[in-house]
Amino acid sequence: MTPTTEQSNAYRPDALVVGGGIAGMQSALDLADQGLKVMLVERGPSIGGHMIALAKVFPTLDCASCITAPKMSASSHHDNIKILVNTEVQGIQTLNGVHHVKLLKKATYVNFDKCIGCRLCEYACDAEYPDPLEEGLGAKRAIGVAFTNAIPQKAVLDPELCATCGTCARVCPTDAIEFDQQAETVIVQTDAVVVASGFALNSLNVKPQYNAARSKNIISALTMERLLAPHGPYGRVLRPSDGKIPSSVAFVQCAGSRDASIGVSYCSRVCCMYAIKQAMLLSGALPIADITIYYMDIRAFGKGYEQFYQNAKAMGVNFVRGKVARIDPVDDGDLSLHVETTEDPENFLQEHRHDLVVLAQGMLPDWDMSGTTPVQRSSDGFVATPMLTSPTLTTAQGIFVAGVAAGPKDIVDTIAEAGAAAMQVSQYLYQKRSANVSESQTAVLVG
């Protein structure tokens, strides 16, 4: 374990935002534009959250990074936003209306003030491992910049992978590498907090009958996003077991949601739409491949979504209504899907063979803040939002929520909610501060 030191931070923002995904960035920008000082805290090496890893977005098929990168850039250049990456929010304690937020600033072993993002260290490093940001399919080195359009463009050294050979320090032109850096615990005081800590997906192995552990060709939807992204691990869609260009791709819906037996009885809301989007993108990338979506029902609730679904059908994507009961790995890396369909009463138990399968996993809350913050969670694990008419209010005064931290939702709803949370924060701060001012005025008059 790396030792840590604990200190109080002299900088006191008006609001602190937990998580640098699209929700966190939007809230931070909307607050900063009103002249409020914001600290945006992200656990990973770059801001951008899940959205920066997506290929394109439904229902417009706009390039995801073309929308996310300008928000990342605006956040990082805003005079009123201070961004901390590689920093985890570990807890919030509220004393006399002031939130004391506990941050773990992880050691990066690189002095960010000196690093110019030239990546010479990364090219010189020999320690190469599977890259978790590429769902394990790509490669990363023990030191390097997280990804091409990461913000900030600063190298980070991973001590778990480092062989301590010292080569990176030998080639660094600015002497930025500091092998003796240590993690620090810092307490930041602020009047308001926005929780925008987003989501994680449940494991591919959550349903053992899908046998994901036995085949490299049963992949997550986020892996498919990376395969479809221009800077993805292979630069095109290949199946992970052997690099074959797939000819038959299946999407299995509700593979980690709407199932009380795995503890996720709710609908994850975005997987129908992203499967349709990925199927459409695949039709373009692999024109001769057959693409099938196995679904229970299609949830196309947003503006333009039903049309998007109809477009996919018109493009030749197969939609098979039914439940995939079991997936068996067969020869040549292929997969056999056992499906109970409602399409054909004469032949409702069917078996279909595909060479790549994408599971629509369930969305789970990323940050478990129970016990370490005054915020309560609802029974599904997401942040509780007790007031129907104010969906960004939590159970704790001065702590607000935005995006998937409050429950599964798409980007459009996330952005709308992030703006609403910013508005609630500024209103709260105004009221709190004017109450403080009138209290002190009363004290002066009475005293």
Ligand X SMILES: Cc1cc2nc3c(=O)[nH]c(=O)nc-3n(C[C@H](O)[C@H](O)[C@H](O)COP(=O)(O)OP(=O)(O)OC[C@H]3O[C@@H](n4cnc5c(N)ncnc54)[C@H](O)[C@@H]3O)c2cc1C
Contacting positions for ligand SF4 (CB under 6 A) = 110, 115-121, 124-125, 127, 142-143, 155, 157, 162-168, 172, 174, 176-177, 253-254, 257-258, 267-269, 271-272, 299, 360
Binding at 143: pick from another protein, ligand SF4, ligand X, none (beta carbon under 5-8 Å per type): ligand SF4
Alpha carbon distance 169, 166 (integer Å): 6
Phi then psi for residue 416, to 5 deg, are: -60, -40
Binding at 233: pick from ligand SF4, ligand X, another protein, none (beta carbon under 5-8 Å per type): another protein
Alpha carbon distance 72, 52 (integer Å): 9
Nearer to ligand X, 125 or 194 (CB): 194
Residues numbered 340 to 399 that lie near ligand X (CB under 6 A) are 366-367
Q: Does 238 bind another protein (CB under 8 A)?
A: yes
Alpha carbon distance 189, 244 (integer Å): 53
Q: How many residues are listed for the chain in this entry?
A: 447
Q: Does 30 bind ligand X (CB under 6 A)?
A: no
Going from the C-alpha of 185 to that of each of 42, 98, 195, 287, 298, the distances in angstroms are 15, 19, 19, 52, 46
Q: How far is the CB of 172 from another protein (least distance, A)?
A: 8
Binding at 30: pick from another protein, ligand X, ligand SF4, none (beta carbon under 5-8 Å per type): none
Query: Is 284 within 8 Å of 312 (Cβ atoms)?
Result: no
Please give the full DSSP string across 135-181, using - where no structure is assigned.
Answer: TTSSEEESEEESSTT-SS--EEE-TTT-----HHHHH-TT--B-TT-
Pick from 180, 287, 303, 443 the residue near another protein by CB under 8 A.
180
Binding at 57: pick from another protein, ligand SF4, ligand X, none (beta carbon under 5-8 Å per type): ligand X
Phi then psi for residue 424, to 5 deg, are: -65, -40
Residues numbered 208 to 227 that lie near another protein (CB under 8 A) are 216
Nearer to another protein, 144 or 302 (CB): 144
Helix (H) or strand (E) holding 94: strand 87-95
Query: Is 237 within 8 Å of 228 (Cβ atoms)?
Result: yes
**CA angle (207, 212, 213) in 5-degree steps:** 110
Contact string (CB under 8 A) for another protein, positions 63-102, x = contact: ----------------------------------------
Contact positions vs ligand X (CB under 6 A): 18-24, 41-44, 49-51, 54, 57-58, 88-89, 196-199, 221-222, 225, 270, 274, 277, 366-367, 403-405, 409-412, 414
